C-alpha cells in the first residue's frame, strides 16, 4: 500500500473541523445485580426476559404468612403462620428471591429455615428459588448445597445459588456467557498510530507493538463509547486523552478466558493529547508509530485477524468504509437510556438524529 494514499485521504478525514469530528430467558433473568448493601426495604429490580425492566416492590397486606397484594409481588414474612420461612420476594414468574439482608445469623437456624422454606414453597406451587449468600455468610453454602441448591455464579462479595422446584426441565437462565473487550485505534495528524508493548503477553506476541486494549467492566457501568470504556483504556495504559469517533468492527469468539465467549470491539479514536505516560504495572512501553511501520509488523501481516482489523481501519481512513457511530437513545421498553450504534451517511444525519 502506498503511504501517500493513506496520508492524503486520512488527513482529510482527521483534519476536518471540530464540529465534523464530534440481550431471552423464559422464566426469570438473574436478579443478582441489586446492590448487596442496599436496604432490604428498597425496591428490588428484577429483569424481564428481553431486557431490564425495573419493577418496584413494596410491602403490602400480609396473607397466610405472605404479604400479597394480588399482583404477583410481595415480601414473605417469617412472623405469622410459618415462623421459620425465610423472608423472600415473590417474583412475577412464580418463583422467589430470598432476601439476602434478612438471613438467620446462625448455621443451625439457617438450615432449619431453609428446609422449612423449601417445603412451604413447594406446597405453595412456587418454581425457582434464588439464594444470594454474601461473603460473610459463606458458612451457609454447604448447607444450601446439601438441600439441593446449585451454584449459579459468584462475584467478589457474594455467591448466587438456585433451586428448581417443579419436576420438569429447569427454566432458570444460565449465568452470563460473555466477556467484553475493547481496543482503541488512535491515529494523529502525522499518520502515527498509538501502540503499546504489554509487560505480560503470549510468547507469539512478545516484543510486538499492538493497539491499547482492555476489558469493559459491568460493575463500573462502562460503555464502549464513553469514559470509562475505550477512551478509559487508552488513557489508563498510555496517558493519552482521546475522543470516540466510530465503532469500526467487532470480533466474536467462543471458549476463551474461563470458557466464556468473547466480544472484542475496535474503536476509532481521535487523540486530544500527545504526551505518553504509561501504566508501568501493565505496559512495558508505548509510542507513536508511523502507520505504514505498524502495518508492516509480522504480528499484523502474519495474523489474519490483526491484518483484517488493520485493513479495515485503513479503509476507514481512506473513506472507503464507514463504521458505526454512537447515539444515545431512551426506550420505554427497558425504562432507561442506552447507546445504539449504527451507521449514518452524511446526508442522512439530520433526518436520523
* pTM for this predicted structure: 0.59
Question: How do residues 257-299 score in pLDDT, each as one tens digit?
Answer: 767 788 888 899 999 999 999 988 889 999 999 999 998 888 8
Please check whether residues 193 and 258 belong to one and the same domain: yes
Among 132, 164, 196, which residue terminates a domain? 164
Helix residue ranges per DSSP H, the chain? 3-14, 18-21, 107-123, 141-146, 230-238, 291-295, 298-302, 304-317, 349-352
Please check whether residues 255 and 127 belong to one and the same domain: no
Which has the higher per-residue pLDDT, 294 or 333?
Answer: 294
Where b means 16+ CB within 10 Å and e means fewer, 42-71 reads eebbbbbeeebbebebeeeebeebbbbeee
Asked whether the predicted pLDDT for residue 248 surpasses 60, the reply is yes
Question: How do residues 109-152 score in pLDDT, each as one tens digit?
Answer: 999 999 999 999 999 999 999 999 999 999 999 999 999 999 99
Among 164, 187, 215, which residue terminates a domain? 164
Please check whether residues 158 and 181 belong to one and the same domain: no
Counting the structural domains of the chain, the total is 2
Asked whether the predicted pLDDT for residue 229 surpasses 50, the reply is yes
Q: Identify whether 45 is part of a domain.
A: no
Please check whether residues 124 and 201 belong to one and the same domain: no
Q: Where residue 204 falls among pLDDT bands split at 50, 70, 90?
A: low
Residue 218 has what pLDDT? 55
Q: Identify whether 144 is part of a domain.
A: yes
**Residue 293 DSSP SS3:** helix
Asked whether the predicted pLDDT for residue 17 surpasses 60, the reply is no
Residue 348 has what pLDDT? 53
Length of the chain: 353
Asked whether the predicted pLDDT for residue 255 surpasses 90, the reply is no
Q: Identify whether 56 is part of a domain.
A: no
Residue 343 has what pLDDT? 81
Q: Identify whether 249 is part of a domain.
A: yes
Distance from C-alpha of 93 to C-alpha of 109, rounded to nearest angstrom: 28
Residue 346 has what pLDDT? 56
By percentage, how much of the chain surpasses pLDDT 90?
A: 35
- Cβ-based neighbours of 138, under 8 Å, separated by 6 or more: 159
Please check whether residues 190 and 338 belong to one and the same domain: yes
CATH classification at residue 220:
3.90.79.10
Please check whether residues 201 and 235 belong to one and the same domain: yes
Please, what is the Cα angle at 262 between 261 and 268, to 5 degrees?
Answer: 165
Residue 151 has what pLDDT? 95
Please check whether residues 193 and 295 belong to one and the same domain: yes
Report the range out of 145-159, 168-182, 297-311 with the highest average pLDDT: 145-159
Please check whether residues 13 and 122 belong to one and the same domain: no
Question: How do residues 29-38 score in pLDDT, each as one tens digit?
Answer: 455 444 433 3
Q: Where residue 217 falls among pLDDT bands split at 50, 70, 90?
A: low
Q: Give the range among 47-51, 84-88, 316-320 with minimum mean pLDDT.
A: 47-51
| Mean confidence (pLDDT) of the chain | 74
Please check whether residues 180 and 317 belong to one and the same domain: yes
State the average pLDDT over residues 162-188.
89
Please check whether residues 105 and 187 belong to one and the same domain: no
Please check whether residues 181 and 151 belong to one and the same domain: no
Q: Identify whether 194 is part of a domain.
A: yes
Asked whether the predicted pLDDT for residue 314 surpasses 80, the reply is yes
Q: Where residue 224 falls among pLDDT bands split at 50, 70, 90?
A: low
Q: Identify whether 57 is part of a domain.
A: no
CATH classification at residue 91:
3.40.630.30
Peptide bond into 146 cis (omega under 30): no
Among 164, 191, 221, which residue terminates a domain? 164
Q: Identify whether 82 is part of a domain.
A: yes
Residue-number span of the structural domain to which 108 is assigned: 62-164
Q: Identify whether 333 is part of a domain.
A: yes
Distance from C-alpha of 216 to C-alpha of 223, rounded to nearest angstrom: 7
State the average pLDDT over residues 197-216.
78
Please check whether residues 242 and 128 belong to one and the same domain: no
Residue 121 has what pLDDT? 95
Grid cell digits, residue 261: 465467549
State the average pLDDT over residues 228-233.
78
Residue 205 has what pLDDT? 65
Sign for the pseudo-dihedral over CA of 185, 251, 301, 9: negative
Amino acid at each position: 500500500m502506498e503511504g501517500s494514499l493513506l496520508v492524503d485521504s486520512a488527513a482529510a478525514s482527521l483534519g476536518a473541523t471540530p464540529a465534523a469530528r464530534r440481550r431471552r430467558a423464559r422464566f426469570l433473568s438473574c436478579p443478582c445485580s441489586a446492590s448487596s448493601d442496599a436496604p432490604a426495604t428498597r425496591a428490588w429490580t428484577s429483569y424481564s426476559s428481553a431486557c431490564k425492566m425495573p419493577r418496584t416492590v413494596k410491602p403490602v397486606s400480609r396473607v397466610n404468612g405472605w404479604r400479597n397484594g394480588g399482583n404477583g409481588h410481595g415480601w414473605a414474612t417469617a412472623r405469622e403462620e410459618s415462623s421459620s420461612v425465610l423472608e423472600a420476594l415473590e417474583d412475577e414468574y412464580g418463583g422467589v428471591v430470598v432476601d439476602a439482608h434478612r438471613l438467620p445469623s446462625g448455621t443451625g437456624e439457617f438450615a432449619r429455615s431453609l428446609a422449612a422454606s423449601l417445603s412451604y414453597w413447594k406446597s405453595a406451587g412456587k418454581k425457582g428459588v434464588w439464594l444470594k449468600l454474601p461473603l460473610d455468610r459463606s458458612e451457609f453454602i454447604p448447607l444450601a448445597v446439601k438441600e439441593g441448591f446449585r451454584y449459579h455464579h459468584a462475584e467478589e462479595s457474594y455467591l448466587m445459588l438456585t433451586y428448581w422446584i417443579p419436576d420438569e426441565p429447569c427454566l432458570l437462565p444460565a449465568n452470563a456467557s460473555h466477556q467484553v473487550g475493547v481496543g482503541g485505534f488512535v491515529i494523529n495528524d502525522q499518520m502515527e498510530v498509538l501502540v503499546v508493548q504489554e509487560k505480560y503477553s503470549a510468547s507469539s506476541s512478545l516484543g510486538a507493538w499492538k493497539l491499547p486494549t482492555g476489558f469493559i467492566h459491568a460493575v463500573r457501568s462502562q460503555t464502549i463509547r464513553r469514559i470509562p470504556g475505550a477512551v478509559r483504556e487508552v488513557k489508563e495504559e498510555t496517558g493519552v486523552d482521546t475522543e470516540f469517533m466510530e465503532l469500526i468492527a467487532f470480533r466474536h469468539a467462543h471458549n476463551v478466558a474461563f470458557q466464556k465467549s468473547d466480544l472484542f470491539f475496535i474503536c476509532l479514536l481521535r487523540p486530544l493529547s500527545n504526551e505518553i505516560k504509561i501504566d508501568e504495572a501493565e505496559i512495558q512501553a508505548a509510542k507513536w508509530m508511523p502507520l505504514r511501520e505498524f502495518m508492516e509488523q509480522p504480528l499484523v501481516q502474519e495474523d489474519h485477524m490483526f491484518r483484517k482489523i488493520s485493513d479495515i481501519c485503513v479503509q476507514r481512513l481512506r473513506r472507503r468504509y464507514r463504521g458505526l457511530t454512537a447515539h444515545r437513545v431512551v426506550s420505554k421498553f427497558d425504562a432507561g437510556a442506552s447507546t445504539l450504534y449504527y451507521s449514518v451517511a452524511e446526508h442522512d444525519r439530520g433526518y436520523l438524529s
